Structure 1
Amino acid sequence: MDSIIIYGSIEKIPLYNCSAHSASEWSELDGEKWPMVGAGLIAYGIVIDLLYLPILLIMLEKELFEKSCFKIMFLLGVTDFFTLIIISILTGWFAINGAVYCTYPRIMYISGTIVCALWCSSCMSALLLVANRILGMSKPTWAAMIFDGKKTYIVLMFPVLYFIFFMFNTPVVFSSKYFAWMYTPLIFPDRNLEYFNRPHTINNFSVVTLTCIVYTPFRIIIANQFKKLIHGDSPQLQNAKTQVFLQSTFICAVNQFGSLIYVIMNVIVVPGWLIMSAHFIWQFVHGCPVLIYLTLNETIRVRFVQKLKLNVIFGNKVLPSTTTNTTMNTPNN
């Protein structure tokens, strides 16, 4: 966004000047149409976002939202929701039309700036979520000191400020030829290095590194904590804590894998199938929380069913609309 402020408009930014050809000519030169794949992306984005909406509303319920982990999960969910609009629905439309940057320069530049910032913000939110859960299980006093009450809002300012920072960095833009969002708009092939986004690359390296750092020293602590849960807590409370920890772990692990792929892409030359796979992994990163919440979080799953006014059989038991979940007894830490 800083370049727009400096030059006055997207079209006037020297590195993003598409005046050499018309929009249709650029598509013919560098684009490739993917009608079936594009339709699949649009369908995926719409379905996941439609499932995400009631989940976000459930998280906002007072009984849940007062817990620090649900505040973080809500911010992460909002980030996922808007990211999927760009990387699934909008990208599907680009793919169907065989679009490159110069086909829709304004939409591409703005959406690329936003989605890059959303991705980096979600990386930080995911790390905060797993840190919240690990501290809650191993160091409750520390968790209370950092996250209790309104302190969580202060902590969540970091991913928000992180988002704002990346809004003023080089955007990623979509190429239907490579089926990926990348730094270069492929206007000046001999100047590709000038589009390199160093903060974004540092973010991806940091996510991979920090995730390993966060998990490694706590492996023994978590193992001991589970032993305590087995001998000390009721089965319901043990199950609730285990579910929340697994949710945080899976969400962060998928983020780590997605980051690792993009780190590899920006360091070495990789085959086209891996570049294309990276985009599908990116979509899965932001769509998998829906699956995680609906399979591992009994509170959200039951309330989701209630909102849709369905009678769903879990095992041999039919859950009525008045079912209360044991996860609600999970301590705030």
Structure 2
Amino acid sequence: MELFLFRHAGYERLYNCTALHIDSVPLERRQFIAGGIVKCVLCAIYYALYVPCMYSIWKHFHDNSCYKLLFYIGITDLGILWILGFYSGLLSLRGAVFCSSPTLMYLVGVAVTSLWIAETSADLVLALNRCLELGFAKLCRLLFSGHRIFVWFFTCSLYALGWAVFIKPAVYSSVFFGWFFDPFVGYHNADDQQQKQHEEVGIKEIQNIG
């Protein structure tokens, strides 16, 4: 995000669409009508199921630190679900790629990437919380009881903010019906594509393994 806000010349160099012709990949190869509809329908179903689950977790919010963690994870899920469901579903119906709407695609990519990081980080904290609860209850209470749990929320959120500001975001591509850190995926030749994919391995893979 800092590239977009403060070093726009660098942003234009990396995300310049002027030399790319969207229709060099035909619309029939970019458009997934059935898949887009399924995504939107499933997203609506997931929201309908998620809301009562969140209410149930909220009722037990003060009972145990794990419920607070689950509620935080639920908030990030609700925030990211509309992007992974409705937004990407509609893009698939249109056959859209990054250069169809570069600024919007980039900003939504920043949002989805940071929410993904916040959620996965909180998942790790929840796993730590449950393991400590089983084997080291006193240590668990020391680390997670009372207002200490909000330190973990702040840490996960700060980490996600760091990704939002400094790390290249994922953007949606209808060519491959998914999210990629390369905005021009599907428009490179085979050798360039392989090299780009190799370059994207690293810190993102570490996050996935975590």
Q: Is the TM-score greater than 0.5?
A: yes
Alpha-carbon distance between aligned partners in 2 of 1:181 and 1:106, rounded to the nearest angstrom: 16
Instruction: Please state if 1:35 is matched with 2:36.
Output: no
**Match for 2:51 among 44, 50, 53?**
53
Gaps of 5+ in 2: none
Instruction: Please state if 1:201 is matched with 2:205.
Output: yes
Instruction: Please state if 1:162 is matched with 2:159.
Output: yes
1:20: how far off?
2.8
Alpha-carbon distance between aligned partners in 2 of 1:26 and 1:103, rounded to the nearest angstrom: 13
Deviations 1:202-251 (A, max 9, x none): 2123x1xxxxxxxxxxxxxxxxxxxxxxxxxxxxxxxxxxxxxxxxxxxx
Alpha-carbon distance between aligned partners in 2 of 1:93 and 1:81, rounded to the nearest angstrom: 18
Alpha-carbon distance between aligned partners in 2 of 1:49 and 1:9, rounded to the nearest angstrom: 40
Q: Which SS does the other structure have where 1:167 is aligned?
A: helix
Instruction: Please state if 1:118 is matched with 2:115.
Output: yes
1:98: how far off?
0.7
* 8 A contact 1:186–1:192 mirrored in 2: no
1:103: how far off?
0.9
Alpha-carbon distance between aligned partners in 1 of 2:94 and 2:41, rounded to the nearest angstrom: 16
Q: Which SS does the other structure have where 1:73 is aligned?
A: helix
Residue of structure 2 equivalent to 1:83: 80
Residue of structure 1 equivalent to 2:18: 19
**What code does the residue aligned with 1:18 have?**
C
Alpha-carbon distance between aligned partners in 2 of 1:54 and 1:194, rounded to the nearest angstrom: 42
State how many pairs are aligned. Answer: 203
- Judged with a 3 Å threshold, the aligned counterparts in structure 2 of structure 1 residues 183 and 161 are, in CA distance, closer, same or farther, namely same
**What code does the residue aligned with 1:71 have?**
K
CA RMSD of aligned residues (A): 2.6
**What code does the residue aligned with 2:15 have?**
Y
* 8 A contact 1:30–1:177 mirrored in 2: no
- Judged with a 3 Å threshold, the aligned counterparts in structure 2 of structure 1 residues 154 and 66 are, in CA distance, closer, same or farther, namely farther
**What code does the residue aligned with 2:205 have?**
T
**What code does the residue aligned with 2:117 have?**
C
Runs of 4+ in 1 over 4 A off after TM superposition: none
Q: Which has the higher contact order (CA 8 A, sep 6+)?
A: 2
Residue of structure 1 equivalent to 2:184: 186
Q: Which SS does the other structure have where 1:178 is aligned?
A: coil
**1:226-241 to 2 correspondences below 5 Å:** none
Residue of structure 2 equivalent to 1:281: none
Q: Which SS does the other structure have where 1:174 is aligned?
A: strand
- Judged with a 3 Å threshold, the aligned counterparts in structure 2 of structure 1 residues 31 and 183 are, in CA distance, closer, same or farther, namely farther
**Match for 2:142 among 135, 142, 145?**
145
1:66: how far off?
4.2
**Match for 1:174 among 172, 175, 184?**
172
- Judged with a 3 Å threshold, the aligned counterparts in structure 2 of structure 1 residues 70 and 120 are, in CA distance, closer, same or farther, namely same
Q: Greater Rg, structure 1 or structure 2?
A: 1
Gaps of 5+ in 1: 208-333
**What code does the residue aligned with 2:33 have?**
P
Alpha-carbon distance between aligned partners in 1 of 2:53 and 2:122, rounded to the nearest angstrom: 17
TM-score (norm 2): 0.85
Alpha-carbon distance between aligned partners in 1 of 2:40 and 2:50, rounded to the nearest angstrom: 15
Residue of structure 2 equivalent to 1:2: 2
1:149: how far off?
0.9
Instruction: Please state if 1:134 is matched with 2:138.
Output: no
1:16: how far off?
0.7
Moved more, 102-111 or 92-101: 102-111
**What code does the residue aligned with 2:16 have?**
N
Percentage of identical aligned residues? 25
1:31: how far off?
5.2
**What code does the residue aligned with 2:105 have?**
M
* 8 A contact 1:31–1:100 mirrored in 2: no
Q: Which SS does the other structure have where 1:48 is aligned?
A: helix
Alpha-carbon distance between aligned partners in 2 of 1:133 and 1:194, rounded to the nearest angstrom: 35
Deviations 1:291-326 (A, max 9, x none): xxxxxxxxxxxxxxxxxxxxxxxxxxxxxxxxxxxx
Residue of structure 2 equivalent to 1:99: 96
**Match for 1:65 among 62, 69, 86?**
62
- Judged with a 3 Å threshold, the aligned counterparts in structure 2 of structure 1 residues 98 and 73 are, in CA distance, closer, same or farther, namely same
TM-score (norm 1): 0.55
Alpha-carbon distance between aligned partners in 2 of 1:110 and 1:87, rounded to the nearest angstrom: 14
